[in-house]
Amino acid sequence: MKLSNKINLYTTVLFATLLILMNISVYFTFSKLILDSELNTSAKEMEKTTNDIGKSLGSVSEAELLRSYAPINGMIQFVTSDDSPLSTVTSPTEQNLIERKTQFNQGEVSTFIVFQKRTYTFESMPIILLDGNVANLQVTKSIKTATDNLNILRLVLILVTFLALIPVVVSSRILSKLITNPVTSMIKTMKEIRQSGRFKRLTFEGKSKDELFQMGETFNHMIHLLETNYEKQKQFVSNASHEFKTPLTIIESYASLLKRRGLTEPELFSESIEAIHSEAIRMKEMTEQLLLLAKHHEQWNIQIAVLNLAEFLQETVNAFRSGYQREIYFHTKNSPQISVVTDEKKLKQLLYIFLDNARKYSDEVITVTTGILHDEAFIKVADKGIGIDNDELTKVFDRFYRVDKARNRKKGGSGLGLSLAKEIADAIGIRIHLESEEGVGTTATLFFKTDKI
């Protein structure tokens, strides 16, 4: 069964059940009120009649006396202790009550009886006759009007129940369509994706923020992740096959050369081993960078915390200076106390990329500066190296792009460093600004919001 049909069925059944229960409650409540009212009225009339008849006994014959107090739709009679009717008066419309068997009651009785499928109020009260014997004064009165009204009420409630179900069925059908439209749209989109092999997203109408809207947003986010990962994997395979081709060719060539002449020519042996080792290291670094780029940002396990920027940079610069034996000048501007909210490990990895590029393409001192500019904390890494032409600046963040391919190969670059830097910066919310001039040098500036100054 379709979800829309289930919603329609369950809504209709639930509403019908509630409506039936409500109508049954109304009927029985109203029925009890009417019947209790009839019984109370009969009891009060019986009390008054008993008092009046008790006072009038002896002055008027019993038959005449009963005829004076006989109900217009019932019967009144005296019943002796041996269950025999002493005197009976019945209204013309209730002559059948004469056939009812009489019974003497010891005390007062006020109840309903059913005779020949008709309901009556029955009142019985002891009374002392002129001869000193105790008899019952019994009054039986039809409540046909009340029962007819209850029958009409029951019929009206049944009709109302059925009539009310018509708009319920229609409205639940419309409601089920409205509720299942996003689901239907999602299924349609999934089928189109399966048939075409291309990623598509749901489009939303209205500004509702309910669970269905959230489900649609989650679906779109999932499609975005799938598309991103698919593109990354496709790029990974394409880039890896392209970039690994050169080092593998070099390794194969030198290995073949070693196989033919390596044992007889020591110089050739050393050159080949050095080239193979160099290319193997470059392939390892390139593989690690490609694997990181192939991951989505949400898989990077980013841990955001408050970081003292000056202390962090001092430690990072000291470590890089010691590791590569390069002269690096570090200073702060505006304020020595700068705190930022970021991921320390990812920021260090990002900084190492720019420091490593400055080391590779410049032999002079590297300058690292931090400070505040227009309410933004910044880190500047400046070198006095070969620089980059303005026409090339917009392309340096593309994967495997090299300004000077021959020189980059010599320096050991893969063309992935700045691409990885851009990915890391986007993941931790840092904006990169690059300035460069050929023959003068390059300055990379990292901007991010300050947490505390």
**Whole-number average pLDDT of the chain:** 81
Instruction: Name the residue with higher pLDDT: 188 or 155.
Output: 155
Tell me what pLDDT residue 75 has.
92
User: What percent of the chain lies above the pLDDT cut of 90?
Assistant: 14
The two tokens of residue 444 are: 């990379």
SS3 84: coil
Q: Which of 424, 404, 428 is nearest to 415 (CA)?
A: 404
pLDDT of residue 409: 42
| Distance separating alpha carbons of residues 105 and 343, to the nearest angstrom | 96
What pLDDT is stored for residue 300 in this prediction?
62
**Alpha-carbon span 340 to 305, nearest angstrom:** 8
- Distance between CA atoms of residues 166 and 170, nearest Å: 6
Sequence-ordered list of residues with C-beta below 8 angstroms from that of 333, at least 6 positions apart, any chain: 369, 370, 371, 372
Output DSSP code: residue 394: T
- Cα 138 to chain centroid distance, Å, stands at 70
Mean pLDDT of 3-32: 87
Most confident of 2-16, 52-66, 144-158, 175-189: 144-158
Rounded-to-integer distance, Cα 396 and Cα 359, Å: 17
The CA distance from 393 to 436, in Å, is 8
Domains within the chain, CATH numbers bracketed: 3-150 (3.30.450.20), 220-294 (1.10.287.130), 301-452 (3.30.565.10)
pTM attached to this predicted model: 0.47
